[in-house]
Amino acid sequence: MPKPDSLWGKDWSVGVRLWVERQGRALLGKGRLELLEAIDRWRSISAAARQIGMSYRRAWLLVQAINEAAGEPLVEAAVGGTRGGGARLTPRGQIAITTFRTLQRTVIHTAGSVLQRLLAGPSTESIHVAAAASLEEVLGQLLADYALQQPAVRVRAVYGGSDELANHLLSGAGGDLFLTADEEQLDRLQHAGLTKPAGRVPLADNTLAIIGPADGLASVKRPKDLLGQGISRVAVAQPSCPLGKYTEDCLISLGIHRNLRERVILVDNSRAVLAAVRAGQADAGLVYGSDTTTSTGCRVLYRFRRSEKPIRYWAGIIGQHDKDDRVPSLLQFLTSPQAARRFRQCGFAPSTHG
């Protein structure tokens, strides 16, 4: 099979029509997802219908069809009133829209990657990105955005603990970009000659938040409430990972670190904190603020406006790349206004560095 030239097909993109079925009945699709998200925002079927340009009758029938196809209510509605009554998504409804959004992004990104590979041919090398696990959601979306702009550029991301990723790079593993919330790991790479100070840029800032089980009764109006009677177990990330370091610094600055020790359950990372709280193994947990945008089965008890030590994500170019502008181009995209908007959508904040 002949290989396409470098220009042919460069403006191709993938469009995917996706829906989810249950027992042969359509459950969710693009239009139904839009309706559910509007109901979640406006707490009213009629208001949601107006916002998306749909008749109230059509919206009401779709809600009934969705609930029937799901076999349980994803939307709870109160009939009556001049505005058609109030409505809200059930916890299963919240999970359904989060799952479908993630499925959409994954399928489109995967399909786009396949198209890039087929057009580029087997000899095209990928850009390899090593990224902190807490960036998986937002980076997945950013790389999908980038694939639409640069369909011929293949990017592969590996996620994990920042220290483990740095160890792999120091051991000779391939990598072009390193994204982390632990600047010390970039220092290690720089001392080994793998990065340069000029190749290090801030990406975004984050915050901390306290979460609890979705059906829990705990109330936290201030961090010191973690010492209250309603909370006996608090999930906290190990100090060896960036989240654990930031959490420890925060608790020490608040003067509650020592008194909280007997209640602390140490886990590996932010994902493990979410899992422990979701499973009811902890009454509360400390996570990144960005984690709360996808923390199904959990609810936010308290958000920190700022941390004593800024939680900042950095990107560092690995190697020279003097003759390959693809890596600097990707880094430029990750620090662009478009990327900043995506970071904000995923619960991050623009970096205040410099």
Identify any residues that bridge with 204 across adjacent strands, giving them in sequence order: 313, 350
Structure tokens at 228: 């209250």
pLDDT of 129:
95
pLDDT band, residue 85 (cuts 50/70/90): low
pLDDT of 122:
46
Evaluate the CA torsion angle 141, 147, 150, 155 in order and state its sign.
positive
The pTM score is: 0.62
pLDDT of 8:
63
* Topology alike, domains 125-204+312-350 and 208-303: yes
pLDDT of 297:
84
- Break the chain into its structural domains and give their ranges: 20-90, 125-204+312-350, 208-303
Give percent of the chain with pLDDT exceeding 90: 53
Asked if pLDDT for residue 354 goes beyond 60, the answer is: no
Compute, in degrees rounded to 10, the torsion defined by CA atoms 102, 279, 260, 184. -30
- Residue keyed to tokens 């693009």: 30
DSSP per-residue letters across 167-226: HHHHTT---SEEEES-HHHHHHHHHTTS--GGGEEEEEEE-EEEEEETT-----SSGGGG
pLDDT band, residue 163 (cuts 50/70/90): confident
pLDDT band, residue 296 (cuts 50/70/90): confident
pLDDT of 79:
58
How many whole angstroms separate alpha carbon 319 and alpha carbon 175? 8
Q: Per-residue pLDDT tens for 248-263?
A: 999 999 999 999 999 9
Q: Supply φ then ψ for residue 299, to 5 degrees.
A: -135, 150
pLDDT of 1:
43
Give me the mean pLDDT over the 288-309 stretch: 83
Evaluate the CA torsion angle 245, 249, 252, 254 in order and state its sign.
negative
Query: Mean pLDDT score of the chain, rounded to an integer?
Result: 86
pLDDT of 339:
94
Q: What is the DSSP letter of 228?
A: S
pLDDT of 83:
47
Q: Per-residue pLDDT tens for 127-159?
A: 999 999 889 989 999 999 999 888 888 899 999
CATH of 208-303, picked from 2.10.109.10, 3.40.190.10, 3.40.640.10, 3.40.50.1240, is 3.40.190.10
Domain 125-204+312-350, CATH: 3.40.190.10
User: Burial of 304 by CB count in 10 Å (0-12 exposed, 13-18 middle, 19+ buried)?
Assistant: middle
Asked if pLDDT for residue 123 goes beyond 50, the answer is: no
CATH of 20-90, picked from 1.10.10.10, 3.40.1410.10, 2.60.40.420, 1.10.3080.10, is 1.10.10.10
Q: Per-residue pLDDT tens for 51-78?
A: 899 999 999 999 999 999 999 999 998 7
Asked if pLDDT for residue 9 goes beyond 50, the answer is: yes
Q: Per-residue pLDDT tens for 198-228?
A: 778 999 999 999 999 988 888 899 999 999 9
